[in-house]
Structure formats: C-alpha cells, structure tokens
Amino acid sequence: MSAAPEHAPTMARASLAERIAPWLPMLLVPLVMLTGLVLIPSGSSWLTLTVSGLAMGMMIFIMASGMTLVFGLMDVINFGHGVFISVGAFVGVSVLLMLAGMTAAPSLILNLLALLLAIIVAALATGALGWAFERVIVKPVYGAHLKQILVTMGGLIVVEQLIIVLWGPEEIYILRPEALKGAITFAGAALEKYRLVAVVVGLALFLAMRFVLRRTKIGLIVRAGVENGEMVEALGYRLRLVFIGVFVAGSALAGLGGVMWGLYQEVITAHMGQQMMILIFIVVIIGGLGSVEGCFIGALLVGLLQNYVAFLEPKAALISNIGLMVAILMWRPQGMIPVVKAK
C-alpha cells in the first residue's frame, strides 16, 4: 500500500475577495451611484443626475458597442466609427424635419412613430454606408494596425466633408418631438422625458444584443470568433461574412445612437461624431477591447461620473473621464473585462 501523499489537498472555499473579483466591474456602477448619493446633498438632484447619467451612458453604449465588437472579432480598429454617428444624425434629423407634422402633434404615439421611423432610416443608411466603408476602406488593410488607423482616419475626413457638401456647413438645430419635451416630476426630482426614453431604448438594445450574443447560433459564432477566430474558421464557418455582418450592424447602431444623441443635444454638426469618438474610445478602453458587457459598464460609469462631477465641481468634469481611464488602467491594464488577448 502506497503512502498517503505528503500534501493534503486543500478544499477550503475561496476567500470572499477571490469570489467577488470577477464581479467587481459590475459592482462599480452601483458603487459610483452610492458614492454620488453620499456626496450630493439633496436626494432629488441625485435622482435627476443619475437618470441623465444613465441616459448619457446608454447612448454612448449604443454608439460604442459596434466598435468594440468589430475590434474583438477581426482585430480591426476603426477610427472612422464616429462618422456613422454624424451620418446617422443627419439622416435621422432630415427624416424628422420631413415628418414635421407628426413630431409637432402633441400625441405620444405619433411622436414615437416618427422617432422610430427616423431611427430606422438612419440605421439603414449608416448600415449601408458601413458596408461600403468595409468594402472600400477597411478590407485592403486587414492585419495592419498602423494602416487601419490612418486609412479609417482618412475615411472619416472624406465622409465628414461629404456631409458638409450635402447638408451645408452650418449646424442644424432640431426640436424634440412635442410629447417628449419637458420633464415629469417624480419624488421631487425633475426627470426629462427624453432621457427616460433614452434609458429605455438603450436598455432594450443592450438586452437584445445580449440575447443575440448569448442565445442564438450567430451570437455563438461571433463570441467564438472573438475568442479564437482561426478555430471557428477551421470548423467551416466563414468568419469574413460574419464580420461584415457585425460591421454593418455596428455602423447601424452608431447611426441610431447618432439620432438619439442629436435629439439629446438638440443640435447636430458634421464634427459631432469625431467629438463623440473621444468618449467612445475611453469607454472601449476601460471596458476591455472586444467586450460588450465591459463596454456597457464603462459607458454607464462615464455617463454617471460626468454628470455627478459636473454638478459637484464643474471645472473638474473635463478631466473626470481621463481620471477614470487612468484609474481603471492602473487597476486592470487590459480594461475591466478583457476579452481579446494582448497582441
């Protein structure tokens, strides 16, 4: 009979800290909200700020999600992603201006219908543009990051200039649909109606995206492609086609986000996408390149923090996002939920 092994296998439970670690990013959002509650003197202004922070975060998430997936799947970094936001906003707003009869009517149903139409047209237009962008600009430079950055940047310049050719150089002011103007009062806090709509739309899109990615076959292929593209191709799936689909869907989402953002700001310019890109990059980096969940958490964090800090210390709001990024990168250099291994 052999002797018992000298070391006794340890069956102790992992410590609390170890069990929490994977969930930490998810806990960050409520943590930031709680900190806000402590620091902000009145409860009602906290509620207002939280709702607007969530609305902003949701819209940023809509715009950023496509980019992070495109990167995760094909290692393509698209610096021109912002242009889909601008194009989406311009197309959507043009549609809304054409449907002035519907948006000016005080009926909520008609208003939402007009908004829906604008969003669909904008998403279709940017989806088509995304397809063209992928074919013409991105396809020849697969695998070369440096060229991708340069070429997509060039694409951004060209499309931005084309927007100016088509719509003129002036910014366009747009009024929100009649029933979405103003605010409702809840527990003493004024909540803008449009922001509530933005939260609902963003949440619905996030859940839909999660459903597609987690519960459908195509989602399985996409997730597997992000993990290990070569293996998925070896199994006989044409990842190229999947990738084009994701690129088009990501562009369409960016366009959709552009319409929402344009209505949120009530003014659109050809450069708005380029300006949004900065927030999007921050979100994508802190979320972890390639991760949809990380992107969602990152977007909410950025939105909430920006609103809280702007209320507490207006001057610091400008650098709060950079501070957040630095803090998170010091904590996890690959982002909160890294998916793609560092190459």
Partner 1 sequence: MLNKLLSGDMPRSRVLTVILAAILICLAFAPFLFPGVRSVDTAARICVFILLVASYDLMLGYGGIVSFAHTMFFGMGAYGVALACTHMERGFGALIVGAGGGAILAALIAFLIGLFSLRVRAIFFAMITLAVASAVAVLVSQLSGLTGGEDGLTYKIPRELTPAFRFGKDMFGGELFGVKTNGRLLAYYVVFTGALVLFLLLLRIVNSPFGRVLQAIRENDFRAEAVGYRVVSYRTAATCISAAVAALAGALYAIWLRYVGPDTALSFEIMVDILLMVVIGGMGTMYGAVIGATLFVVAQNYLQELMGAASSAVEGVPILPDLLSADRWLLWLGILFILSVYFFPTGVVGRLRDGK
Question: Do residues 311 and 46 make contact, with C-beta atoms less than 8 angstroms apart?
Answer: no
Between 61 and 71, whose beta carbon lies closer to partner 1? 71
Which residues lie closer than 8 Å to 335 by C-beta, 6 or more apart?
Answer: 285, 286, 287, 288, 289, 291, 294, 298, 328, 329
User: Min. distance of Cβ 231 from partner 1 in angstroms?
Assistant: 22
**Can residue 164 be called a binding residue for partner 1 (CB under 8 A)?**
yes
Render 266-312 in DSSP notation, one character per residue: TEE-TTHHHHHHHHHHHHHHHH-TT-HHHHHHHHHHHHHHHHHHHHH
Q: Which of 321, 336, 337, 339 binds partner 1 (CB under 8 A)?
A: 321
**Can residue 250 be called a binding residue for partner 1 (CB under 8 A)?**
no
**Can residue 82 be called a binding residue for partner 1 (CB under 8 A)?**
no
**Can residue 174 be called a binding residue for partner 1 (CB under 8 A)?**
no
Mark the segment that binds partner 1 (CB under 8 A) among 104-112, 202-210, 224-232, 278-286.
Answer: 278-286
**Can residue 162 be called a binding residue for partner 1 (CB under 8 A)?**
yes
**Can residue 326 be called a binding residue for partner 1 (CB under 8 A)?**
yes
Tell me, what amino acid is at 139?
K
- CA 309 – CA 321 distance, rounded (Å): 10
User: Min. distance of Cβ 157 from partner 1 in angstroms?
Assistant: 4
Question: Do residues 54 and 302 make contact, with C-beta atoms less than 8 angstroms apart?
Answer: no
Between 196 and 312, whose beta carbon lies closer to partner 1? 312
Dihedral sign from CA coordinates of 211, 216, 222, 227: positive
Between 56 and 221, whose beta carbon lies closer to partner 1? 56
Between 197 and 285, whose beta carbon lies closer to partner 1? 285
Taken as a whole, the chain contains a residue count of: 343
Question: Do residues 35 and 49 make contact, with C-beta atoms less than 8 angstroms apart?
Answer: no
How many residues bind to partner 1 according to rule CB under 8 A? Answer: 42
Between 177 and 294, whose beta carbon lies closer to partner 1? 294
User: Min. distance of Cβ 125 from partner 1 in angstroms?
Assistant: 18
Between 102 and 159, whose beta carbon lies closer to partner 1? 159
Q: Which of 102, 285, 297, 305 binds partner 1 (CB under 8 A)?
A: 285
Q: Which two tokens stand for residue 213?
A: 């990615």
Q: How far is CA 333 from CA 25, 30, 188, 329, 341, in A?
A: 14, 22, 41, 4, 12
- CA 265 – CA 52 distance, rounded (Å): 12
Which residues lie closer than 8 Å to 188 by C-beta, 6 or more apart?
Answer: 43, 44
**Can residue 161 be called a binding residue for partner 1 (CB under 8 A)?**
yes
- CA 165 – CA 103 distance, rounded (Å): 27
Q: Which of residues 128-157 bind partner 1 (CB under 8 A)?
A: 137, 140-141, 145-147, 149-151, 153-155, 157
**Can residue 319 be called a binding residue for partner 1 (CB under 8 A)?**
yes
**Can residue 175 be called a binding residue for partner 1 (CB under 8 A)?**
no
- CA 136 – CA 79 distance, rounded (Å): 15
Q: Which of residues 31-70 bind partner 1 (CB under 8 A)?
A: none
Q: Which of 192, 333, 336, 339 binds partner 1 (CB under 8 A)?
A: 333
User: Where do contacts with partner 1 occur on this chain (CB under 8 A)?
Assistant: 77, 79, 137, 140-141, 145-147, 149-151, 153-155, 157-158, 161-162, 164-165, 169, 274-275, 277-278, 281-282, 284-285, 315, 318-319, 321-322, 325-326, 329-330, 333-334, 342-343
